[in-house]
Amino acid sequence: MLDWVLIEEGRIEEALTHLRAASALASRTGAPVAEANALLVLAMAQVALASLDEAARGCERAVELARKADDRTIERLALQHLARHWADAWKWREALDTATEALAFDDRSGTVDVRRTLLLMVRGEALLGLGNKAERIEQLDLAAREAESSGYEDGAVRALGVLLEVSADAGLQARYDSAVMRLTTRT
C-alpha cells in the first residue's frame, strides 16, 4: 500500500527501494504470490522511470511465480502488465502474443472485465504496429464497446481515442465525445 502511495506522489526512487526489499523478502520466505505482486508494482515504478525492459523482466518473473503457485488470477494480471510493457516498448509481436495468451487464459467475454478491455486495447495497438489496420480497428472497437457497456468510461475514452487516430468516422467521434462527457461529469 505504501508503495502505491509513493508512486502516486512521484516518489519513485523511494518506492523502488521498498519494492525491491519486499520482493527479496517474499523470495527468501518462499512466498511466490507475494513476490509476484511486489514485482508487478515494482514494474509500474520502473515504467515511471522509463525502464521498460527491466519492467518487462519483472513481469516475466511474476508470470513464472504465479504459474509456480498455480495462481491464475495473478498470472493473468502479470500477463496483462507484460503485454502493456511490450506495447510501450514497441515490441509488437511480443505484445500481441502476450495479450492473446492472456485473453485466451480464461475467456470472460460478456462480463464486466476491465483487464479484458485493457488487453483488447494492447492487442489492437500491436496489430497496428505489425501492419494489420483492419483487425486493429476491430479489436479496439470491441474494447471500446465492452468499456462503454460496462461503464468503464476511462477505457472507452482511451480505446475510442486510439480508434480516432486511424479513422475520422463521425460515429466514433460522437461516441468519444459522449464518453468524455460521462467521464468528466462523473468526477
> Which pLDDT score, from 0 to 100, does residue 101 have?
93
In the predicted structure, residue 52 carries a pLDDT above the cut 70: yes
pLDDT-derived band at 21, boundaries 50, 70, 90: confident
> Which pLDDT score, from 0 to 100, does residue 14 have?
78
Q: What is the mean pLDDT of the chain?
A: 85
List of residues 6+ apart from 115 with CB closer than 8 A: 76, 77, 80, 102
pTM: 0.82
